[in-house]
Structure 1
């Protein structure tokens, strides 16, 4: 296996630092080719997984009617969530999804295997964490292709499974919106708006 150069590291660091959560006010009406979608999905397959279980599964959603159903559910969940942020008026102004505007939605699931998984006997949710690693690969690969990706989390997993007619042995981990964007912001939007301050490495290290 090859060794990587400092230039490779710089490129990787640039992609990581340029990753953004893209929302509906930035997606544009442009098709993402099947070739590039395949590259994004295949990058997920290269993620680490506990016990080499590879528990990720994907549901691709292109149909406008199905997107509308998902959006209708999101809207109800979003309205309910406003109560939790009544002391932060900024919340009501945020665009928090791109379900209808993005070219394709991808629901990412964890496949619950009934057999014992190596490395999962004590940390039962480590299989789900493996799926999160797969999503991270997709996010970075999409950015390297200059394609936007947004993660929608103000939804109820059981409701999404019902809409998508997914069997009970699958658990929703992430609902992703993917498509070309008019721009990638220089800074994360929530940082720019002052929703939260960026934490330093020192703040993140436990003593």
Structure 2
């Protein structure tokens, strides 16, 4: 227990230019695949990005994340091979024109980016009973996703691009990263310097999907309709 009572401090107020900088970074964030430069990442810059990720909110302050920094070319080629196999399976799931569109997409930068980072979730961290996780076991996974988002935004502010590669068989990736049973991969990220970036999300630019209208996604108090309690 602390020796003296803990009380909140006066909340910092941010200037308009600081607020705008945050929104600019959010709106400039992209899922980078083919734009990586080969330049190595400065250790101090990488540390700042990881510190930002580590500052993410977590339920019960359990901080369930770890960051596996993957630079070894042999291991990365093995990860890329696992992606290629899973990607062929994914392509076969689409029909007609969508399959052709999918085949034309560049969906990873595993070998091109100078650094890969696997963000994992230790599902035992914090013990058997964790404040805030008592009724939803997956809150540790959600907390780890918050760390991924922090990492992504901090990287963009530093001039780095990040690409999230999700097309893997989990068992393949677990084996390649030598993960213990209680640890899960939440995100496999490709990270590196960029000089070019799409003005809009690449999948939107290439006609795969469009951004939904925010007004169509906002509801008040409950889901519309007459179903459920109080409907």
Q: Deviations over 1:3-33 (max 9, x none)?
A: 111111111000000000000x211111111
* Counterpart position of 1:2: 12
Q: 1:194 aligns with which of 182, 207, 210?
A: 207
**What's the secondary structure of 2:128's corresponding residue?**
coil
* Counterpart position of 2:186: 173
Runs of 4+ aligned residues of structure 1 deviating over 3 Å after TM superposition are none
2:117 maps to 1:106: yes
Unaligned runs of 5+ in 2: 1-10, 225-231
Q: Which has the larger radius of gyration?
A: 2
Distance 1:99 1:108 in 2: 15
CA deviation after TM superposition for structure 1 residue 74, in Å = 0.2
**What's the secondary structure of 1:60's corresponding residue?**
strand
**What's the secondary structure of 1:149's corresponding residue?**
strand
* Counterpart position of 1:185: 198
Q: Deviations over 1:125-149 (max 9, x none)?
A: 0110000000000000000001000
Where do 1:49-128 residues align within 5 Å?
A: 49-87=58-96, 88=98, 89-113=100-124, 114-128=127-141
Q: Normalising by structure 1, report the TM-score.
A: 0.96
Aligned residues: 206
* Counterpart position of 2:148: 135
Where do 1:15-30 residues align within 5 Å?
A: 15-23=25-33, 25-30=34-39
Distance 1:187 1:20 in 2: 8
**What's the secondary structure of 1:85's corresponding residue?**
coil
Alignment root-mean-square deviation, CA: 1.0
